[in-house]
Structure 1
């Protein structure tokens, strides 16, 4: 791990954001590749993994994004928390807007429950778009933190940025499974199921670079940008991830998965950040 941190310290942080985004995408692809090994996925295991995903995202939102954003904000008291509050609200509203516009279908939902503008697009496309929707804030979060490192902000450390990338990558593995397996179950070929599963995360390296470049050029925006990514991720967890885990009888398993994911991400951030 020390060698990894040393390497990331020696390269341009924007390039580091790209590598971190590619890492999270690759782990999604690894998860999606499970369709070549298994015919289906136990629903209890799937709900537990989705719960784990939610726990990682919530922990990352506070430990990796909100807390550093508040620390680096100027002023005291209410003034100090304003950038975080504004950024958090804007991030949630951004995903709220995309959620209302982008046609998509959540993993465990029926086709009659698809969201966004009406479209004749197939279930396959809608499932991929649903996961893509919440991969955008994950990529932004990684990129923004690397951008903070580029600006020399003491609250944004390379260890924290790497920890966030590792946490997002770990929870992307079950996300790849969560896209590919339902597609396979609905008769899509193994290769197409894998292809669509990994494709859902291709936005992460792109969003990571965009996030890093944005705060590099507009340094004062960093506290807002960190909170923006946190707000976007929390919206996704509450609006999408948690409801998906509560539609069957394995709600306790999903809750324990959430707790596990939170602990893993908190541990990574504190230990490496």
Structure 2
């Protein structure tokens, strides 16, 4: 297992979103590499359900730590969109035990995490599509092809309660920042203000967390200097945004 001595540099684990790729996270990797070691975790989002992606993350972090001479000064996570669900589920599946006594030094930044599920994906469930049955079946079938039969199926078919039960809760020792976008054009498939893909309300965690809302779109947030600055400040221990408690 990992060594108990603590190194001077921290580790940041990056996770892309659904239908994304490690390449999307490279600007963040470059921006953070001067201060941190960076593990850019890639996964085939359509190829497995959320549970298996989370297990893959645990394996990747465990393997990386076991190869180090000393334990990093901190192990942090920066995710985009669906990647935030993978981090959540990984903590529920035992990621905290991998970090052990170092758990309290961990920080998570989640960019546009659809922790309430994705209304945009559910809109293509045949029961939510307007029109005759043949149209509803065609739209639903096309969505199934695009999203796939695993994690994409979960986004398409599962509701907020399912995601709440699956994700669990990130331990209170871990400080979390959510960066939410509000710059999406009016999307009739999302009920509230959004980044065009994830609704603002869908990114509210079931635990106290810091929130920063910026008038940016879903993918643009990955490349925004404002977002990168927020991430760096938060990982450095600065309070970013507003401390938010979940709605009762």
TM-score (norm: length of structure 2)? 0.28
TM-score (norm: length of structure 1)? 0.26
Relative CO higher for 1 or 2, CA cutoff 8 Å, sep ≥ 6?
Answer: 1
Name whichever structure is richer in helix by fraction: 1
